[in-house]
Structure 1
Amino acid sequence: MAEIQPVRGWRYNPTLSTTIDAYVSPLFDVVSAKQREALYQNPLNSIHLTVPRTDAPAAAGLLAEWKTTGVLRQDALPGIYAYYQYFRLPGSTREYCRKGFMCHIRAYDWDENVVLRHENTLPASVNDRAELLARTQFQTSATHGLYRDDDFELETYLDEAMLSPLYETVEDYQGARDVLAVIQDAAIIQRFQAVLAGREVILADGHHRYEGSLAYRQARELAADGTATGREPWNYHLMYLTNAAADDLRILPTHRLLLEMPNGGTVADLVRELEPYFVVQPKEDANDLPDIIAGKQWAFGLYAAGQAYKLRLRPEAHALLNWPTTDEVKALDLTVLHFFVFQQVLGVMGADAQRAWLGVAYVRSLLDCLQRVDRGEAVAAFIVNEVTMAEVEAVCHSGAVMPPKSTFFYPKTIGGFLFTSIADDETGNPFVEFFQAPALSA
């Protein structure tokens, strides 16, 4: 199903690569304003290409300068780039290693059902990414895709490549150690292609960047006026692919912080109006809420006015959930929260209105949620369980999307670790046809 291609990656030159930590950056949709300003102080940091301070034309000019002066250099041979991220989770001593690889994947339209999404996008962010891609013809950070291979065939090749890494970070902004290696053996690359040719890919992270690639591809196709072959480099998109069957694939919860009461009520009103739908139980310590709700379906923590509560949906209430979506989406904890709390109790009607609603903030840190309520910056915090990989797969295969900010795949990929070009004069190599065999069977 999914067609992937090796790439001739662009990377920081060997001298700069020895201190790669100084040049990598967070993704455009997670980097804070404070982080951006700090990174802008380094004139060679990748933030200048991924989130330019001024505009896309300025980024294109800077990119041309970096290529000319040798800040960035292109690898001579095509390859698939092994990318490992070593990390720990708060409160745990276990070191995880998420194993994956970066390559180009054909930019499939959603209705082709090859690359599957699980969330909607904001048009302004898609347009921003599409414009930057059009100006630079350069992909500065890989989106994150998931394929499922219960046999773990490709990990053997990835582990072997990692015996000779190209470079690694000491510690990136999120505390992970990132390691890059390359596979340039043609037979092994063809095996990667064969395995992915039998798979669908679920887009975990990077919906806006992926749709930006789609928009750019569609614009180029229109301009080609029927002469496009489908092999032009602008048909492809840089993606980091990891195995959904792996235990080192982590999805962290994103809690909901209620910034205001849209109906003008009080916290006491909120608790009272929840009771027809939820069993509401006061609890002593808000810090215990994640443990109290862990593993329980349709269970949430609530913290408001200095009091913690456990909420659990009354089983008979679930039949009232009448949003026009699939059963897989209706079964999600977050759908229950958004329907029964945000719509039925708070009166923000419908998924579209909630997506645009400014009365809710999405916060990953439990401590941050509790402190903001205590400081009076928010009315209440709703503490949630993480979404499981099985739920993500079920929703994607149902053809529906999840409520906003349902998943936070951790750790995030980083910008500047590997760049790729989709410019016509920078993608050719003597082996292009070798990797485009008409039949690739798994």
Structure 2
Amino acid sequence: MADIYPFRAVHYNSKLVPDLSKAVTQPYDKITREMQARYYDLSPHNLVRIILGRHKPEDTGEDNFYTRAACSFQDWLREGVLTSEAEPGLYPYVQEFTVPGPSRARKRRQGFIALCRLEDYSAGVVHRHEETLSAPKADRLELLKATRAHFGQIFMLYSDPEGKIEKKLAACSGGKPWERAQDEYGTLHTAWRVTDPAAIEEVVLAMRDKKLVIADGHHRYETALAYRNDCHAQSLPDDRPEYVMVTFVRMESEGLTILPTHRVVHSLPRFDWSEFLSQALKFFDSEEVHADGGVEKWGQSFLDRMAQAGGDGSTLGAYAKGGKIALLRLRSGAELERAMADVPSGLRRLDVVLLHRLLLEGVLGIDRKAVQEERNLRYVREFEVAVGLAERGEAQVSFLMNATPVTAVWENALAGQVLPQKSTDFYPKLLTGLTIYWLDNPEGM
């Protein structure tokens, strides 16, 4: 049973921070050093100072990134830079964006922000679709302990084919937006605030029978679980650590977008294109494609061919220097069955699983540990970048991917199956700092 709750969001005070776009950030794990520096320059109150501040050589146990984050948070609350709503609410959240890539399609994704009771995965309410690493969770746990606040939302999917919850919230959230910001990728983020008790109760009840799948934010969800468990171990009476801040998006939403993550292979002792294709024929039918001119001339037509072929079965692209490009279509047979025998049935036809098992491991000899450590592998969102790296000789081969279907994410997560690293790239990301869940809010939860 999914338990969601309205809450008194802490947010930026528009009187002191009139341009919210200069204060909010991408999720912490998407912030590069260059982005961090730019955020610092944008505003003295940019949230990067709290979620991903600068480390100093002279840092100590008493004066470090985490203690400075806590001090900045408390200073901004005291100064009124951050303020809390007096009444609990739900926060409908709309993102209007352009899909990266040659198509440049315009889309609109709708969700809502609320608190969600934390559940262990074993309870069968919240489901994950990817593995997590220990280091990021340890870092986020220290920040949570220091600040007692959640600054970004977990991105969760729920199923509502008729869109009843979306429609209810849309009917309650007309008029002037509560918050609005534009990010560095041109995405317009708009949030409203719903405080009507009857409307809130209707949404809470409608969500109660929903299963939830984490789309983005696995590390932060598991960090919140760890903090909750720490509080239990200390027998603390406070129940606020039982909840985490979530943006809920229905999986049937037309605006729900997953981008492909292309795989760029480098630093192999040896790579020969003809030999690679010959070995790949054990599992794939190969069609070499003529790439005439720059990627801007043939890129979109090739992506269209990949997508069309992908509708009939698993399909990958491969590109090497000199305009060598091939369309690889999975073929059935005994070789395939033997190679995939130990793979759960729900994963056997996923492009990323087939690539990792059949080509990275089976043909190129890149084992799972090397993949985890990214010794020979780089992940790239942009198709043109993946092609360019291979063409410049900075990669030996780039594997060009179709996006993982959201239904595959949903079905495998509910079945308890975990997808390979970087299988999904939900776009756009949720803004950090749009709403803040402060566990010590004197106004109440």
How far 1:95 moved relative to its partner?
3.3
Q: 2:402, 2:174 → 1: CA distance? A: 34
Map 1:62-77; keep pairs closer than 5 Å: 62-77=72-87
Q: TM-score, normalised by structure 1?
A: 0.91
Instruction: Name the residue aligned to 2:54.
Output: 53
Verify: 1:305 aligned to 2:317, yes or no.
no
Aligned partner of 1:345: which letter?
A: V
C-alpha distance 219-248 of structure 1, shift in aligned 2 (>3 A): same
Select which of 352, 361, 368 maps to 1:343. 361
Instruction: Name the residue aligned to 2:240.
Output: 233
Q: 2:355, 2:240 → 1: CA distance? A: 43
Aligned partner of 1:85: which letter?
A: Q
Structure 2 SS opposite 1:345 = coil
Deviating more after overlay: 252-261 vs 89-98: 89-98
Select which of 275, 278, 288 maps to 2:281. 275
Aligned partner of 2:270: which letter?
A: G
Instruction: Name the residue aligned to 2:175.
Output: 163
Instruction: Name the residue aligned to 1:329.
Output: 347
How far 1:427 moved relative to its partner?
6.0
Contact 2:412 2:418 in 1 (8 A): yes
Instruction: Name the residue aligned to 1:375.
Output: 392
Verify: 1:33 aligned to 2:39, yes or no.
no
Verify: 1:85 aligned to 2:95, yes or no.
yes
Instruction: Name the residue aligned to 1:198.
Output: 209
How far 1:265 moved relative to its partner?
3.8
Aligned partner of 2:22: which letter?
A: A
Instruction: Name the residue aligned to 1:19.
Output: 19
How far 1:16 moved relative to its partner?
4.0
Verify: 1:96 aligned to 2:114, yes or no.
no
Map 1:211-250; keep pairs closer than 5 Å: 211-224=222-235, 232-250=239-257
How far 1:94 moved relative to its partner?
5.1
Instruction: Name the residue aligned to 1:436.
Output: none
Structure 2 SS opposite 1:300 = strand
Aligned partner of 1:289: which letter?
A: F
Structure 1 SS opposite 2:304 = helix
Instruction: Name the residue aligned to 1:151.
Output: 162
Instruction: Name the residue aligned to 1:179.
Output: 190
Q: 2:367, 2:194 → 1: CA distance? A: 51
Q: 1:340, 1:321 → 2: CA distance? A: 7
Q: 2:420, 2:103 → 1: CA distance? A: 29
Contact 1:107 1:236 in 2 (8 A): yes
Select which of 327, 332, 342 maps to 1:315. 332
- Cα offsets for 1:229-261 (capped at 9, x unmatched): xx7000110110011111111111111000222
- Tell me the C-alpha RMSD between the 2 structures: 1.8
Contact 2:271 2:396 in 1 (8 A): no
How far 1:409 moved relative to its partner?
0.7
How far 1:392 moved relative to its partner?
0.9
Contact 1:302 1:311 in 2 (8 A): yes
Contact 1:50 1:141 in 2 (8 A): no
Contact 1:18 1:167 in 2 (8 A): no
Map 1:335-414; keep pairs closer than 5 Å: 335-350=353-368, 353-414=370-431
Map 1:409-428; keep pairs closer than 5 Å: 409-423=426-440, 426=442, 428=444
- Cα offsets for 1:208-244 (capped at 9, x unmatched): 11111111111111111xx75xx70001101100111
Q: TM-score, normalised by structure 2?
A: 0.90
Instruction: Name the residue aligned to 1:207.
Output: 218
How far 1:279 moved relative to its partner?
1.7
Contact 1:204 1:409 in 2 (8 A): yes
Structure 1 SS opposite 2:319 = strand
- Cα offsets for 1:368-398 (capped at 9, x unmatched): 0111112221111000111111111111111
How far 1:78 moved relative to its partner?
0.6
Q: 1:232, 1:280 → 2: CA distance? A: 58
Aligned partner of 1:326: which letter?
A: P
Contact 1:325 1:400 in 2 (8 A): no
How far 1:52 moved relative to its partner?
1.9
Structure 1 SS opposite 2:398 = strand
Q: 1:374, 1:53 → 2: CA distance? A: 36
Percent identical pairs in the alignment equals: 28
Q: 2:413, 2:7 → 1: CA distance? A: 28
Contact 1:421 1:427 in 2 (8 A): no
How far 1:93 moved relative to its partner?
6.6
Q: 2:437, 2:443 → 1: CA distance? A: 9
Map 1:424-439; keep pairs closer than 5 Å: 426=442, 428=444
Verify: 1:134 aligned to 2:145, yes or no.
yes
Q: 1:70, 1:40 → 2: CA distance? A: 20
Instruction: Name the residue aligned to 1:289.
Output: 302
Instruction: Name the residue aligned to 2:60.
Output: none
How far 1:123 moved relative to its partner?
0.6
Q: 2:135, 2:35 → 1: CA distance? A: 22
Q: 1:384, 1:366 → 2: CA distance? A: 9
How far 1:348 moved relative to its partner?
2.6
Q: 2:33, 2:188 → 1: CA distance? A: 23
